[in-house]
Amino acid sequence: MAAASGCTKACAGKALDGAIEAITKAVKKGDKVALVGFGTFSLSKRKARTGRNPQTGATIKIAAKKLPKFSAGKAFKDIIRTVFSKLASGLRLELTY
């Protein structure tokens, strides 16, 4: 990240930390954060449900909870598919930014 942006590692680290903090705060509030071409961060809500203790077989209540969710964008998916298809075909892969 530092080499791509032309700044120091410390500067790039601070920028990355700031971006992660902003995304975390927004998702925690329930907002969606879309990074065009990369993906979308959002909050997923899971309902309360009953489950089973695998050791005893007893029925247990599992509480409702909120979880972070990431949906990859089209451009990111395309890059990943290209990388894996080249790896699968045995070609040498060089990533350039």
> pLDDT at position 51, please?
96
Q: What confidence category does residue 7 fall into, taking pLDDT thresholds of 50, 70 and 90?
A: confident
Q: Which amino acid is at 7?
A: C
Asked if 35 contacts 27 with a C-beta cutoff of 8 angstroms, the reply is: no
β-pairing, 39-46 vs 65-72, is antiparallel
Residue 41 has pLDDT above 80, yes or no: yes
- Candidate CATH numbers 4.10.520.10, 3.40.50.300, 1.10.3470.10, 3.40.1160.10; the one for domain 2-88: 4.10.520.10
Asked if 73 contacts 32 with a C-beta cutoff of 8 angstroms, the reply is: no
Hey, where are the domains in the chain?
2-88
Q: What confidence category does residue 92 fall into, taking pLDDT thresholds of 50, 70 and 90?
A: low
**Least confident span in 25-34, 56-65, 81-90:** 81-90
DSSP for 31-72, please give it.
Answer: --EEETTTEEEEEEEE--EEEE-TTT--EEEE--EEEEEEEE
**What mean pLDDT is predicted for residues 53-59?**
94
Q: How many beta carbons lie within 10 A of that of residue 27, not counting itself?
A: 20
